[in-house]
Structure 1
Amino acid sequence: MKHLINSVKIGVNEKTYVKNPESSDLGKRIVQSGIALISEVGFENFNFRKLGTRIGSNESSVYRYFENKHKFLMYLSSWYWGWKEYQLVLTTNNIQDPAFKLERALNVLTEPVEADSSFSYIDEAALYQIVINEYSKSFLTKEVDRENKEGYFEIYKRMVGRLQDMILAVNPNYPFPASLASTVLEGAMHQYFLKEHFPSLTDCSDKDSLYNFFKHQVFTSLNVQIDD
């Protein structure tokens, strides 16, 4: 199993990059240093010139892998959601009881992100902070409809679909499964953002409270009684 997990590759839409960064050490350094740089200066102040300096090269090296910083952000976001999908499937795959399976899925989606040794060049905790703070900038653009048609958000939409299926497995008659599923994914990120920047606006100050909040919201909506 260990060798199988170590061989996992996170699939990302090929249109997000010019050359797959996983194909070379330079590409991996670009991703690794890009995550660190965005974490430090924010996406607005991030550019390929600064990234080139960070990796000890010029910005043309970065352009060989990514067309622009918007595509770079979309690559990072897609990679993150692909990684979360991998965790979700790995955690819930052999669970037969629908309610327990949904509980475990909610735990995966709300637990604090920690480093994953399977992907040594990715700092998943720093990447999650980028997703929390910057993910909306990947789709709040004039090009969102075209990019959606071209599959840029396919992994995120697939995650919503997986959670939606789990919700319907618990209550097939629930009329808003997609809305509830997308609310959980977006809400978890939003609650983490509030915790960091507007703590008086959330009661979810730790891991368990966030999980318990969404567990309560989801199962109450599904009209299903669960044990605390």
Structure 2
Amino acid sequence: MSNFLSNIKITVNQKLYLKDPETSELGRNILKNSILLIDEIGFEAFTFKKLGERIQSNESSIYRYFENKHKLLVYLTSWYWSWIEYRMAFATTNVSNPIEKLEKAIKLVTENVVDDNATPHINEEVLNRIIVEEFTKTLMTKEVDNENKEGFFLVYKRVINQITTIIQEVNPQYPYAKSLASSIVEGSLHQHFLKNHLKTITNLSEKECAVDFYTDMAKKILL
């Protein structure tokens, strides 16, 4: 998997940045440390001033890459879903059995994430924690409709549509494939959040991730 991803350049909507951060050492440093800092202090407390202090660079240098911290967060979440999309494509391409394909897809979007050495400036394990904690903040804004028209959430929707297609392969008669696919993706994030913060209202634990739960649920619904 790492060898596969090391040969692929993950692309993000150009409207999310002023200068592609992947094209310079400073840009990659901004990505790397923004992930670590948001994870440490949360998105509300995160500022470009604090990030500049962390990377020992002027705040203005960060603004040359991103217009504001909201677009930086959307960039990071888009990068994450692109990474998931590539991994899902790799894992399911040569799988002919629809059930097996569904199991692999569910595993990829619900499992506990570990860092991928193929992307040294992006710690996917930490980025996953940000997705769990902060992803809804990219969607639940007054600008969501306009940003959706700009294609900010295109990759996220592609991931859900890939799972939708697999669900339809498993059971072409099931009328709620899109709702089931989006519930698996969104619900998994929520269950991981509960596991981390409100442990008494979820059956998940550090040892038991969401894979088994959502696989079991999908099979009982579709089969």
TM-score (ref. length: structure 2): 0.97
Number of residue-to-residue matches in the alignment? 223
Is the Cα–Cα contact under 8 Å of residues 13 and 151 in structure 1 kept in the other structure? yes
For residues 2 and 184 of structure 1, the distance between their equivalents in structure 2, rounded to whole angstroms, comes to 25
- Structure 1 residue 3: Cα displacement: 5.6
Report the counterpart of residue 61 of structure 1 in structure 2: 61
Give the match for residue 170 of structure 1.
170
Question: Counterpart in 2 of 1:115?
Answer: 115
Partner of 2:159: 159
Q: What is the alpha-carbon distance in structure 1 between the residues aligned to residue 20 and residue 69 of structure 2?
A: 15
Work out the CA distance in 2 between the residues paired with 1:111 and 1:139. 22
Secondary structure of 1:116's match? coil
Q: Does 1:38 align with 2:2?
A: no
Deviation (angstroms), 1:7: 1.9
Quick check: 1:110–1:207 contact (8 Å CA) kept in 2?
Answer: no
Mapped partners of 2:210, 2:4: distance in 1: 31
* Mapped contact 1:38–1:46 kept (Cα < 8 A): yes
Inter-partner Cα distance in structure 1 for 2:208 and 2:83: 22
Q: How far did 1:2 drift?
A: 6.7
Query: What is the 5 A alignment of 1:22-171?
Result: 22-171=22-171
Is residue 27–residue 65 contact of structure 1 (8 Å, CA) maintained in 2?
yes
Structure 1 distance, partners of 2:59, 2:159, is 34
Look up the equivalent residue of 2:43 and give its one-letter code. F
Q: Distance in 1 between matches of 2:2 and 2:127?
A: 24
- How far the C-alpha of 1:209 sits from its partner, in A, is 5.1
Contact 2:11/2:82 (CA < 8 Å) preserved in 1? yes
List runs of 5+ in structure 2 lacking aligned partners. Answer: none
Distance (whole Å) between structure 1 residues aligned to residue 206 and residue 64 of structure 2 = 41
SS in 2 for 1:94: coil
TM-score scaled by structure 1?
A: 0.95
Query: For the Cα contact (< 8 Å) 1:39–1:129, is it kept in 2?
Result: yes
Q: Percent identity?
A: 48
Aligned partner of 1:12 in structure 2 is 12
Instruction: Give the direction of change, closer, same or farther, for the CA distance of 1:202–1:2 in structure 2 (3 Å limit).
Output: closer
CA separation of 1:2/1:193 partners in 2, compared to 1, >3 Å: closer, same or farther? closer
Asked if the contact 1:10–1:79 (Cα under 8 Å) also holds between the matched residues in 2, the reply is yes
Secondary structure of 1:175 counterpart = coil
Counterparts of residues 187-202 of structure 1 (less than 5 Å): 187-202=187-202
Shift of 1:5: 3.3
Please list the CA deviations of residues 45-96 of structure 1 after superposition, one character each: whole Å capped at 9, or x if unmatched. Answer: 0000111111111100000000000000000000000001111111111100
Name the CA shift for 1:217/1:187 in 2 (closer, same or farther; >3 Å): same
Q: Output the CA distance in 2 between the equivalents of 1:71 and 1:63.
A: 11
Does the 8 Å contact 1:98/1:170 carry over to 2?
Answer: yes
Secondary structure, aligned partner of 1:122:
coil
CA–CA separation in structure 1 for the residues paired with 2:216 and 2:112: 18
Q: 1:209 to 1:128 in 2, by over 3 A?
A: closer
Runs of at least 5 residues in structure 1 that lack an aligned partner in the other structure? none
Q: Which residue identity lines up with residue 186 of structure 2 in the other structure? A: E
CA distance in 2, matches of 1:210, 1:2: 23
Report deviation, 1:207: 5.3
- After TM superposition, give the deviation of residue 19 of structure 1 in Å: 0.5
